[in-house]
Chains A and B, each alone.
Chain A
Amino acid sequence: MLAQQKVFAVLASAAVAVLIVELVRRRRLLPEFSWLWLLTAGLMLALGLWYDLLLFLTDLIGAVLPTSALFTFAFLFLILLAVHYSVRMTGLTHQVRALSQELALLRAEMEADRERAGAGDGK
């Protein structure tokens, strides 16, 4: 692997790590989600510095070129990430549904109580 490629891999992974930490610090990203991105940065760094690992992975999946292996893993990772967010969104949708229903029921209950109190005052 060329030194140029190594420098790029190190800089790119460092940039991702800094961005994630900064987003968490500014509360724009939940720590819950940050581990996934920090892991991504770590993997980028590992593959950039440790070329033999990339060659091993290329051989493992039967790819011809290390770049093909890299893109395959990146693609799989993005698919898994999309599934992960779909699962999270489903959970959030269920929560929003339950909260909206509870809000409607409590509001009706509150209005009924207020009406009863108003009727009581009028007596």
Chain B
Amino acid sequence: MSAGRAVAIVPAYNEAERIGAVLSALKAVEEVAEVVVVDDGSTDATAEAAASHGVRVLRLPVNMGYGVALQTGFKYALRAGFDHAVQIDADGQHEAACIAELLAPVRAGETDLAVGSRFLNGGPPYPIGALRLGAIRFFAALTAAFIGQAVTDPTSGFQAMNRRVLTLYASEGYPCDFPDADVLMTAHYAGLRIVEVPVVMYASRKKTTMHSGLRMGYYLFKLLLSIMLARLSRGRIEREYRDACAAEGLRRPR
């Protein structure tokens, strides 16, 4: 029985070399009852590496992208009856030891969604390129303006959530194509409470990330479009979330 305990969702694509360390770190986290790795159609031995750590592995038949892999984990968490979930990257960028602090406000019922911020404790211990930092600050300001609360790290993929958020994230309304600041807006428009919690993040050890190279341009364009669409779709987000909550037998927060 998983009541009151959390599942850690780890989306992974070609992370065979790095995922072992992340899974070992997650095993040491008391709050995590189960770890589920979503192998996003990796061409290396990511699934085997994860399975060798005794965790559950969900294998997508083809590479569908980070957002789809994450959503698969959310659907699993919802079906398996978990009350809380933590999403954490497989490349070792997120410090697993911070999960306890990230989960605390969610478990206490103070918030629905806790977003790990690398900037609340004076910034990450690694340099961020000027372009990337500028983009993060721009989207932070934009998101803050729309949701009416301060946001420092809108691109953070280190989050803890309750079942209400899982219900939203598992629904059609979840922006699977580069989920970022638009996810926070979607959660806000669905009536969910969001807080930021200081966490430790490290530089990604991957040579290419989804924010690197030419993809950065597409990422910025898509994110801007998604933010605008989320703003324009407020009514639809509320309506769809209400239906999703009814299907799950959940009460909406407000």
Give chain A's interface residues, CB within 8 Å of chain B: 94, 96-97, 100-101, 103-105, 107-108, 112
Q: Which residues of B contact A96 (CB under 8 A)?
A: 64
Known: A108-B56, A108-B58, A112-B56. A100 touches B64 (CB 8 A): yes
Asked if B56 contacts A100 (CB within 8 A), the reply is no
Query: In chain B, residues 47-68, which have Cβ atoms closer than 8 Å to a Cβ of chain A?
Result: 56-62, 64, 68
- A selection of 22 A-B contacts at a CB cut-off of 8 Å is A94-B172, A96-B64, A97-B68, A97-B176, A101-B60, A101-B68, A101-B71, A101-B75, A103-B60, A104-B38, A104-B59, A104-B61, A104-B72, A105-B72, A105-B75, A105-B76, A107-B58, A107-B59, A108-B57, A108-B59, A108-B76, A112-B56
CB-defined contacts of A112 to chain B, threshold 8 Å:
56
A89 to chain B, nearest CB (A): 14
Not counting A101-B60, A105-B76, a sample of 8 additional A-B residue pairs whose C-beta atoms are within 8 angstroms of each other reads A97-B64, A100-B61, A100-B68, A101-B72, A103-B61, A104-B38, A107-B58, A108-B56
Q: Total interface residues on B, using CB and 8 Å? A: 17
The smallest C-beta distance from A36 to any residue of chain B, in angstroms, reads 28
CB contacts (< 8 Å) of A104 on chain B: these are 38, 58-61, 72
CB distance from B180 to the nearest CB of A (A): 18
For chain B, residues 66 to 82, give those with C-beta under 8 angstroms from any C-beta of chain A: 68, 71-72, 75-76, 79
Q: Compute how far the CA of A66 lies from the CA of B109 in the bound complex, rounded to whole angstroms.
A: 70
Collect the chain B residues with CB atoms within 8 Å of residue A94's CB: 172
Closest chain B CB from A94 CB (angstroms) = 8
**Are A100 and B79 neighbours in the complex by a CB distance under 8 Å?**
no
Interchain residue pairs A-B with the least CB separation, the first 5: A104-B58, A101-B72, A108-B58, A104-B60, A100-B60
Q: Which chain B residue shows the least CB distance to A94?
A: B172
- Please give, as numbers and ranges, the residues of chain B lying within 8 Å of A107 by CB-CB distance: 58-59
Least CB distance from B10 to A in Å reads 14
Q: How far apart sit A111 and B76, CA to CA, in the bound complex (Å)?
A: 14
Cross-chain contact B64 with A105 (CB below 8 angstroms): no
Kindly list chain B residues whose C-beta atoms are within 8 Å of the C-beta of A101. 60, 68, 71-72, 75
Q: Which residues of A contact B57 (CB under 8 A)?
A: 108
CA distance A101 to B62 in the complex (A): 10
Contact B58 A105, beta carbon cutoff 8 Å: yes
Interface string of B152-164 (1 = CB under 8 A from A): 0000000000000
Q: Which residue of A lies closest to B38 (CB)?
A: A104
Neighbouring A residues of B61 by C-beta, 8 Å: 100, 103-104
Per the bound structure, the CA–CA distance linking A7 and B177 in Å amounts to 51
Within the assembled complex, what's the spacing in Å between the Cα atoms of A44 and B63? 43
Q: How far is the CA of A84 from the CA of B211 in the complex (A)?
A: 31
